[in-house]
Structure 1
C-alpha cells in the first residue's frame, strides 16, 4: 500500500516538474470566468527552412547581375568573365556564379530598354 502511494506521489511530482519546465520556456496568463489567473504554455511557431529569404537573395543576385550586364554590355562582360575564369579556384567559382544565364539576360534587356 505504501509503495503504491509513493509511486503515485512521484508520478504527480514528475507531472508538475514537466509542466513547470514547459511553462519556464514561456507562458501567458489566462483569466478564467471566476477571475483566476491560469498560466498556459505559449505556443511558439517552430522555425522552418528560410525558403523565402533564399528566394529573395537569388532574385536580388539575378537583378544585380542584370544591372551589371546592362551597364557594361554583353561583350565586355563576357571578356571580363573569361579573364576571371583564368584565375585561381576562387576566381573560377566567381566566374561560374557570374556567368550570363537566361534570367540575367532578360533582366539586362529589360533594364536596357527602360534607360
Structure 2
C-alpha cells in the first residue's frame, strides 16, 4: 500500500507541475510522428520598456512646456536654483536641464502657439 501511494503522489505532483506551467498559455506543436502536442509557453521576465519610454516622452514634453511658459532665462535661473540645493534637488536639476531635444520640442510648441 505504501509503494502504490508513493507512485500516486508522484503522478499527482507531476500533473500539478504540468498544469502550473500551462497557466501561462500553451502552443500546439506537431511532432515528428504527426501527433499534435500542447507545449507550455515559457514566460520570459518582462521589462517595462514601453512604460519607461512613455515616461521619458512625458518628461520631455513637461520640460518643453515649462521652457515655453517660463521662457529660457527664467527656466535657466530656476534650474540654477535647484543646483544649489540638496542632493535630491541637484538630481532634479540635472534631469530638468534644457537638453537639445527639449529645446527642439519647445520650438515646435512655440510654432503652434
Same fold (TM over 0.5): yes
Secondary structure of the corresponding residue to residue 48 of structure 1: coil
Counterpart contact for 2:24–2:43, Cα < 8 Å: no
Compute the TM-score of the two structures, normalised by the length of structure 1: 0.69
Shift of 1:16: 3.7
Distance 2:20 2:48 in 1: 27
Distance 2:85 2:16 in 1: 60
Structure 2 gap ranges (5+): 26-37
Look up the match of 1:107.
105
Indicate the RMSD between aligned Cα atoms, in angstroms. 3.0
Say yes or no: does 1:98 pair with 2:96. yes
Look up the match of 1:62.
60
Structure 1 gap ranges (5+): 1-5, 29-39
How many residue pairs get aligned? The number is 98
Secondary structure of the corresponding residue to residue 57 of structure 2: helix
User: Which consecutive aligned stretches of 4+ in structure 1 deviate over 6 angstroms post-superposition?
Assistant: none
Q: Deviations over 1:27-82 (max 9, x none)?
A: 99xxxxxxxxxxx7875754411111111100111011011101111111001111
Compute the TM-score of the two structures, normalised by the length of structure 2: 0.70
